[in-house]
Amino acid sequence: MTRRNQYPNKIIGGGMIALLVAAFASSSSSFPCASATATATSSSWRASAFAIPRRRPPTYRSGHPSSPSTLSSYPASAMTTSARAGWRRTATTTTTMLVGGRGVRFAGSRSYSRRRLHGASSSSALSLFSPTSSSMGVVVSRLLGDLFASRGSVPLSYSLSFNAALFCALRPKLLTMLTPSGYIHAFALGTMLWTALGWRGWTVCVMYLFLGQAVTKVGFEEKEALGIAEGRGGRRGPENVWGSALTGAMCAAAAARALLAGGSGGVVPCASTSFGLSTDLWLLGYVASLSTKLADTFASEIGKAYGKTTFLITTLKPVPRGTEGAVSIEGTVASVIGGLLLSVYAYGVAGLLRSPGGVAISTLAAFVATMVESLIGATLQGREGSRWLTNEVVNFFNTLIGAFLAMSLGVLFLGI
């Protein structure tokens, strides 16, 4: 790609980052997180950056496993006392807690108790980060608990800090996979995904990046000699980052919005919706979009390296390897494997998909969308009047088709 043709891609990429950052930042202050920190003074109290729901503490009969008689006392290190009217507000990440015989909290949910303290004074305020009430180890464990919560979105500040540290530590390795500008855009994308879906959604995208980069290097010398290898030694630029992951980023933002609306503490099935669609459906679209791009990458790179007979998808006439719209048996099989690998990871490890049915739908949608992408390449790409239809634009439509198809099949066959 010439320097002259890179300017539109840079403008588009910068605009995408600005829009997505604005969308995520506007709602990041309300994202649920795994734990809360509270600090009290003589006149005010404050909790971590989300609205605290007020719920009436449940009551239990004697002998119940969660009754006051069978629970241990609430740890003072996670307690704050407000001098105003002597009320006690608590927040903890322990699975069960007891405050003065009331206010039981269960694992996987967030609740706060409010109880009158007799004889409370302003000097009795305790802070989570006070040297006298908590060790540094407790503070670190709480921060790591928020950052690597098994369920839940992550505060933007945590996600930004973690991704900045990780990208700096892995900079030499990442620059072998990304251009300098692609490196910056990938950092922005990683921060957004961790903020929206936590480590689960983030690792799915990282898995796509590493698998895609690995398959790009297969037979690279031969492909380079034939002039059909990826430019820049296979390194991805901003246009590649957003062409591949813009659809996924939008699905992740919609899923986070649904989780926030439903008050869910994490990436789990819930009844909340975003734009009329359930959380599970948006997560299926997110996984399918990245699986589609990985399937396309596998088909293209394996087909170029090992395709014995390549033919145009519209006419079935033999064409040279690397021709837009060309398919091969080897590449077609590879596309199924690529889509299946990422879908299985999203189900078995990341837990974004609820059932094996989701894996099947994501893989099928990825395969069909890859075939549609070949059809677009054979009929429209490179033709007069469609110069704007670059590989990156086609990739975006490819992932959009994959996500739409998977979400449609999810409604029809999975009822989500």
For the chain, the structural domain boundaries read 26-147, 149-414
Indicate the angle between helix axes 279-306 and 356-379, nearest 10 degrees. Answer: 50
Query: With 80 as the cut, is the pLDDT of residue 51 above it?
Result: no
Q: Which of 22, 396, 383 is nearest to 188 (CA)?
A: 22
Give the mean pLDDT of 284-301.
Answer: 97
Helix segments in 217-278, DSSP class H: 220-226, 238-262
Predicted confidence (pLDDT) per residue in 212-236, tens digit: 999 999 988 888 888 888 888 889 9
State the Cα–Cα distance between residues 117 and 106, nearest whole angstrom. Answer: 23
- Kindly tell me the burial class for residue 324, based on how many C-beta atoms sit within 10 Å of its own C-beta (0-12, 13-18, 19 or more): middle
pLDDT at position 132: 44
- From 6-10, 45-49, 189-193, the region with the lowest mean pLDDT: 45-49
Q: What is the pLDDT of residue 125?
A: 35
338-353 pLDDT, tens digit per residue, is: 999 999 999 999 999 9
Give the confidence band of 315 by pLDDT, cuts at 50, 70, 90: very high
Average pLDDT over residues 383-406: 92
Residues 6+ apart with CB under 8 A from 160: 191, 195
Of residues 123 and 305, more confidently modeled: 305
- Of 196-205, 261-270, 305-314, 377-386, the one with minimum mean pLDDT is 261-270
pLDDT(65) > 60: no
Q: Letter for the amino acid at 313?
A: I
The predicted pLDDT at position 15 comes to 54
Mean pLDDT of the chain: 75
Per-residue pLDDT band at 97 (split at 50, 70, 90): very low
Predicted confidence (pLDDT) per residue in 133-189, tens digit:
457 777 777 777 767 765 557 889 999 999 999 999 999 999 999 999 999 999 999
Estimate to the nearest angstrom the gap between the alpha carbon of 132 and the chain centroid.
38
* CA nearest neighbour of 152 among 192, 194, 198, 106: 198
How sure is the predictor about 262, in pLDDT bands with cuts at 50, 70 and 90? low
Q: What is the pLDDT of residue 414?
A: 94
Of the segments 2-6, 85-89, 103-107, 131-135, which one has the largest average pLDDT value? 131-135
What is the percent of the chain with per-residue pLDDT over 70, rounded to a whole number?
Answer: 64
pLDDT digits (tens, 9 = 90+) for 317-330: 999 998 989 999 99
